[in-house]
A and B are shown apart, each in its own frame.
Chain A
Amino acid sequence: MAGLEDLYREIILDHYRTPRNRGELDPPALFADGHNPLCGDEIRISVAVQDGVVTDVRFSGSGCSISQSSASMMTSAIKGKPVEQVKSIVRRFKQMMTIDEEDSEIDESINLGDLEALQGVVKFPVRIKCATLGWNTLLDALATEQK
């Protein structure tokens, strides 16, 4: 049986207690709202993109330690990176969070760094949606640029 130490790793609790990049950006930053209908958690991701690079990103809203820390770690991981690379990281992360079949487009060499700490969430399937909430919302925000 998976223990709580698999879920609540120290780095996760650190991001929960001291969230990075919390807040919102003003327009023309892109933004999207996400919510988890099962638990009522809500998140807003705002992301500034200049010349194909994520120059800044913030998250706001409320949720459990997993959704909040995952969003916080996500912002740290993608800030300053080209949008294409960010999308690869998102795919890699979501792969880690699923038991789905292989996606050949995923670059296995991407190092998720601290984000690997969230791997334990997979052992608690009801919490996977918490961990991916911010990530799916980021994709929604990035998609608004193409409209």
Chain B
Amino acid sequence: MSLDVTSIRKDFPVLKRQINGKPLVYLDSANTSQKPQVVIDAMTNFMSNGYAPINRSAYQMEATDLYEGARSALAKFINAPKAHEVIFTKNATESLNLLIMSWGRANLKAGDSVLLTHMEHHANIVPWHMLVAERGIQLRWMPLTNDGQLDLTQLDTLLDGVKVFSFTSMSNVLGTINPVQRLCAAAHKAGALAFVDGCQSVPHQPTDVQSWDADFVVFSSHKMCGPSGVGILWGREALLEAMPPFLGGGNMISDVRLDGFTTAELPAKFEAGTPPITDVIGLGAAVGYLEKLGMAQVRKHEIELSTYVLNMLKDRFGDDITIHGPANPELRGATFSFAFRDIHPHDLSQVLDQQNVCVRAGHHCAKPLMRILGANATARASFYFYNTMSEADALADALDSASDIF
């Protein structure tokens, strides 16, 4: 049974929007996804009827239950063994910074090596560069094949002697889905930990951190129908317990004295200050929504969409369009960076915007990858379960209109 997209689209108020009499064609979900009514309602209801702080006083039971309920829902969603292994941050970038700085400072010293890949987002590069400057660690890089997959031919050599292999589960530029389970196994065989940036894949396919056998996974709320303002860090209990705190302040302590402090238990230890309570509750509703759709169904729909998009764009535009990343829809998500007839991505996105077709143009926070692709920027159309084949056609029609100008 496949997804009833017509009915699903009714769940998203913004998808009913028309601009200049024409529907909005939102193809930028790899950037941020749209929100279903249940998420909007959960947040509105909480602020209207139940708003309170959490974990402080007796009267706050309802707010605390909703907040912790979201944590439990998240844990189940990614098959985490324990709910308190799920840490809420303010975004996935902060999750990575928490992980890299807290774990890295406690465990890495000058000369230690970390393996990254050429397809990482800046959030999985820059904090490591900061640690290079601070600690004198060394970075190694896994290259890519011509069709935008990780080049695994040197996997064991690259992993030899590294302390961490930190990689994305899916490229936000190429759409490539990486073999996370295999990469985690290789890392562990080499005695390294596996950090997984799950931002692009977690919203689009089933996630099982135990079958991955990952050590840490980060992802973000706003790409999976939840609100912005919440990131998630999942880690193995023993590893999280051994890590020093990242931010200090309220909520994260067990005791504070004039001469020091002791930390709270997980997860509070890593959740200093008042958390984004309303947003986490919204995320909890988003997880419920996705569970109801079924992530396997979401993935199936996106493979069908990818197959259609790849074939249709090639049929219509032939060599005038270059789509980056793997040609096999089974190996990729429905995120397509492309070059079109020498038209600069910014000009392209401007013309597409005029047709209400929303795509991203730019370097997608992956400048090292852009240099490898030999581009300053690409245009990127990214699809989600609420997108349709006729929206893909609208993209192609809009591309045609760009040719009329340039």
Cα A66 to Cα B350 in complex, Å, equals: 11
Contact A39–B350 (Cβ < 8 Å): no
Q: In the complex where A41-B376, A124-B350 touch, is A8 in contact with B344 (Cβ < 8 A)?
A: no
Chain B hits for A91, CB < 8 A? none
What mask results when residues 310 to 337 of chain B are scored 1 for a CB within 8 Å of chain A, else 0? 0000000000000000000000000000
Does B187 sit within 8 A of A, measured CB to CB?
no
- The distance from the CB of A3 to the nearest CB of chain B, in whole angstroms, is 8
Contact A38–B362 (Cβ < 8 Å): yes
Cα A53 to Cα B265 in complex, Å, equals: 70
Chain B hits for A39, CB < 8 A? 345-346, 361-363, 376-377
Cα A41 to Cα B361 in complex, Å, equals: 11
B361, closest chain A residue (CB):
A39
Does A40 sit within 8 A of B, measured CB to CB?
yes
Contact B346–A8 (Cβ < 8 Å): no
Cα A66 to Cα B345 in complex, Å, equals: 12
Cα A39 to Cα B377 in complex, Å, equals: 6
Contact B346–A64 (Cβ < 8 Å): yes
What mask results when residues 1 to 44 of chain A are scored 1 for a CB within 8 Å of chain B, else 0? 10110011000010000000000000000000000001111100
Contact A65–B354 (Cβ < 8 Å): no
State how many residues of chain B have any CB contact under 8 Å with chain A: 17
Does A130 sit within 8 A of B, measured CB to CB?
yes
In chain A between 115 and 140, which residues have their CB closer than 8 angstroms to a CB of chain B?
A: 124, 127, 130
Contact A41–B377 (Cβ < 8 Å): yes
Cα A64 to Cα B406 in complex, Å, equals: 11
What mask results when residues 357 to 368 of chain B are scored 1 for a CB within 8 Å of chain A, else 0? 000011100010
Does A80 sit within 8 A of B, measured CB to CB?
no
Cα A127 to Cα B347 in complex, Å, equals: 10
In chain B between 375 and 406, which residues have their CB closer than 8 angstroms to a CB of chain A?
A: 376-377, 405-406
Total A-B pairs in contact (CB under 8 Å)? Answer: 45
Cα A4 to Cα B350 in complex, Å, equals: 8
Contact B376–A4 (Cβ < 8 Å): no
Contact A4–B405 (Cβ < 8 Å): yes
A17, closest chain B residue (CB):
B406
- The distance from the CB of A44 to the nearest CB of chain B, in whole angstroms, is 13
Cα A41 to Cα B370 in complex, Å, equals: 12
Cα A102 to Cα B70 in complex, Å, equals: 52
Contact B405–A8 (Cβ < 8 Å): yes
Does A82 sit within 8 A of B, measured CB to CB?
no
Chain B hits for A3, CB < 8 A? 354
Cα A42 to Cα B223 in complex, Å, equals: 30
Does A62 sit within 8 A of B, measured CB to CB?
yes
Cα A4 to Cα B349 in complex, Å, equals: 12
B20, closest chain A residue (CB):
A1
- The distance from the CB of A60 to the nearest CB of chain B, in whole angstroms, is 13
Chain B hits for A127, CB < 8 A? 346, 350
Q: In the complex where A64-B347, A130-B346 touch, is A40 in contact with B354 (Cβ < 8 A)?
A: no
Cα A42 to Cα B371 in complex, Å, equals: 12
Does B351 sit within 8 A of A, measured CB to CB?
yes
B363, closest chain A residue (CB):
A40
Contact B406–A40 (Cβ < 8 Å): no
Cα A5 to Cα B378 in complex, Å, equals: 23
Contact A40–B351 (Cβ < 8 Å): no
Using A13-B405, A39-B363 as known contacts, list a sample of 15 further A-B pairs with CB atoms less than 8 Å apart, ordered by residue number in A.
A1-B20, A3-B354, A7-B350, A8-B347, A13-B406, A38-B362, A39-B345, A39-B376, A40-B370, A40-B376, A64-B345, A65-B347, A66-B346, A124-B350, A127-B346
Q: Which 7 A-B pairs have the closest CB atoms?
A: A40-B376, A64-B344, A64-B346, A40-B363, A40-B377, A65-B347, A39-B362
CB pairs A–B below 8 angstroms (30 shown): A1-B20, A3-B354, A4-B350, A4-B351, A4-B354, A7-B350, A13-B405, A13-B406, A39-B345, A39-B346, A39-B361, A39-B363, A39-B376, A39-B377, A40-B362, A40-B363, A40-B367, A40-B377, A41-B376, A42-B376, A62-B376, A63-B344, A63-B376, A64-B346, A65-B347, A66-B346, A66-B347, A124-B350, A127-B350, A130-B346
